[in-house]
Structure 1
Amino acid sequence: MAIKVLVVDDDKLVRRGLISFLPWQAFNMEVVGEASNGEKALEFLECNPVDLLLTDLSMPVMSGIELLRNARKRYPHLHMAVLTLHQDFEYIQEALRLGAIDYIAKVQMEEEQYEEILGRIAARIKEDRNQRSVSLNPDQIIAENKQGYVLLSMAHETELNWPQEVNLPQALMMEAERNSWVWFVKEEQQEQVVEVLMAKAQTEPESVLLVLTDIAGCGWKDLQRWLREYREQVLFYDYHPDHNIRTVSILDEPNIPAGTNELELEKVKVDRLFSRWFQNDRVFDGLIQEMKSLRLPEKKLVGFLYSLVIEWNRLFAGTQFTKIQMIPSLHSWYQVELWIRKIRKSIHGSVGPSSHSQEILDCITKAVSMIQEELSTQLTAAELAQRLNLSRGYFSQCFKDIIGKTFNEYSRFIRIEKAREYLLNTNHTIVWIAEQTGYADEKYFSRIFRESTGTLPSEYRQTHRLN
């Protein structure tokens, strides 16, 4: 079987010279492709079987060193050699550390030396082939196996090097995508493979072992696509660290849920903001399941959670309710649920047990929302109490108990905070800002603002914009 060669160099004349000048046929070698940089070389490797990668070290877009590093992870059985100049000695050392088996200098070489180097490379590849008879064609590998084993990490930001730590010399491993590797083994070796990979999955944080069945007849690109969709649409929501070993048929297409409309999102958002979810266990568990059932794509889920955090902190700024911090990282729904439960516990700690009924809790949080939404109207406690069907005295007492401020204290605080926002982020006049925050008299607004902040509105705008 001929040794298939890919030549990579950014200089087209050098590539053509090497392809035409080197005695490939004398050593049963065949140049099957060429590329001008590392990225194009990786694209070629994804679609074509290659036995020997011969690459320059200094190239634009992706250097030869980066190409060697990527190829080593994705195609551990690919042989690699480097093209170099004499002054690239440090790069040659790095290339050898990354697995290059030899190097060819571009200048000052005689034909006999080329033959010596190619012969040395060919002998090394032949020796490895004798030890390993498995083809490097991904589609052929899949066709010869009934199942595969995928070890993956749910984390995005951590670069893991599991293949180097997993000692399975008789198994063929390929990288499906970042932090995701597929092993293919003969039937008689499966027990050993499962044992080793299960142990790895149990010790590595946020890792999952998938046993893929019914893979025969599936192409490598189809397998990569299926794995990516399964990870994003199924595993993201089903992952749990106590159940991180799963057997899945490749014939089961990931169930893509219908798009969630804005009304559904708004309903969950309103329920999430108001008090019932952190006071009532049954309501809380129901809300968690309702949010999960939406099965939002990861990016949309992140945006949705951000909007909840911003809205909560806006509504309850200046109250005894705790300020919510956005989830620091998000790899699975399991993390989201832990984060929400932590928030609930924190809110419980900030307000303590309530002696008020659930109905009163809901009324007061609705009052907070009304104040926020109707800032340009100077609402009074009597008006809100009437709209909520409560007596003024009872409403005022409940408001202070639950929010931690009197109605007037909270109302003034929230109006001044909104005024600060307008002063810093708009060029509207002080008169306009006063009207938008419920003050018909500009002078009265300025006096209240100075009492609250220590400066007049115009001074606040000038000082803080300079800072």
Structure 2
Amino acid sequence: MHNIPIKVLIVDDELPLRQELRSMPWHLFGAELVGEAENGEEALQLCEELKPDLVITDIIMPIMDGMDLLRQAKQRFPCIQFVLLTSHSDFQYAQQALKLGALEYVLKLTFEEEEMKAAVDKARAAIRRESDLRSYERERKRRDISQLLNTIEMGEADQAKGLSQLWEAWCRATPYYPVRLHVEVREGDRFHLLHELKIQLERLEKESSNFYWSPIGDQDIVFVFCNLHSALEACTQAEQVMRGVYQALEKRLTDPYGGIRLLAVTGGCVREPEDLISSLRASVITEVMKFYDSSLTSLTADKAASGLAGPEDSPDADQIISKWIDVAKDKEKILTFFHETLAPWAMASRFEPEKLIAFILRIRERVITVHSLLRPSEYEAFTVQLQGAPTFVQLLHVLVREQESEASGIRKIRNDVQLAQKIILTRLTEAITLTSISEEVGLSSSYFSRLFREETGESFNDYVTRMRIEKAMELLQTTQLKVYEVAERVGIPSYRYFSQLFRNWTGVAPNEYKRADFK
């Protein structure tokens, strides 16, 4: 509330007084006049529509007076602050209004600008105190629920008592669908991600009285939209939460999209306390989901479940093996097979990751045996990469790269990544973002980030930084430009940041590098 103007609603049945209030320099008070009403009934409706922070109201009015307005508004909108306009004859009412929760009263016929400014300042302080108190209470409640969720999930709590407490703590407006959000992030970005995620969830919590969230374990968060009535609606809301976090974080991460995964599963419908246990268990993020589903994926529990245990259990396994062996020596056909046959089959079946990888490794061995091939020099290296592939997308990339490497003898960087590198080199003086470059080469940001790292061996941000530092080294050695001018030429206008970055990459300060004879 420090910088956001307080929204003020004025209520009085006398037009001259409303005009006088209207003419106040509200902006100088750190406030904004958002509306006016002639009676309490009209003011209640405007409280619903305009959500003012402060209502300045007369006491004696037709239809609904200021006292009734105060009583009803405090029940429906407890966060709104009230200042009463009184005359000497209304003093008894004013005292009663203070007991009902009014903040202040001023004499309507003699008030000055300073009095109104003081009332606004008092309202701002009260709003801040109440906001801090509500935040503290929400955080305390969230910690309690988090501990309760952990003990219930670990089977360490009395189930009946735990469910009863959780039922009371959350909302009893059923049905609802708990969503479990799983968070994976590299350590350097963990603070930013969790901070932004908390902001998003707290915003939703403030906007809705029927939204709750709490951490569960180290990497999961459970949240509930109590006003939703289908698992599909819950999935949609979960996706909106994840996309909001991604958009807010993109420019703050060390490697946008490359080091973050957000996955969500919506559990079963909860109508009774006993449903909570089964819903929470159904929403557990499995290793299969982590392997097959990309980030920003939100699924219902039935869609997240794995299918067949291993490829050998599939009736199509023999056909897949036969097809792979048939096309193995034709680069174009084998790549088509990977993308159009193997990938859809594996993604639809959702085999256990370890069994799928073992299946693929066995087929590679059979291809060598059937075609009497010599193992390429990089065969073992690719085997290790396949064994350690954390996702199916990564597994597929390794298979494709292996074929391209075998066909050419040397590994070539894909055309779209080469184009991105050329664009970066021509725009070192400009602001370069992963989103803008990925759009120019026609790829999504998330896919482009992973692809760039796999093709070049370094992250997008590291590549851009390295190109800028190498260009700066060249300019420092071959021109008479000052250090700050070189910094501007390579797109880093902050002299201090450029100097620190240059030292981190080269081990010396820019001035030292410029004076020395580095070869």
TM-score category, normalised to shorter length: 0.3 to 0.5
TM-score when scaled to structure 1? 0.36
TM-score when scaled to structure 2? 0.33
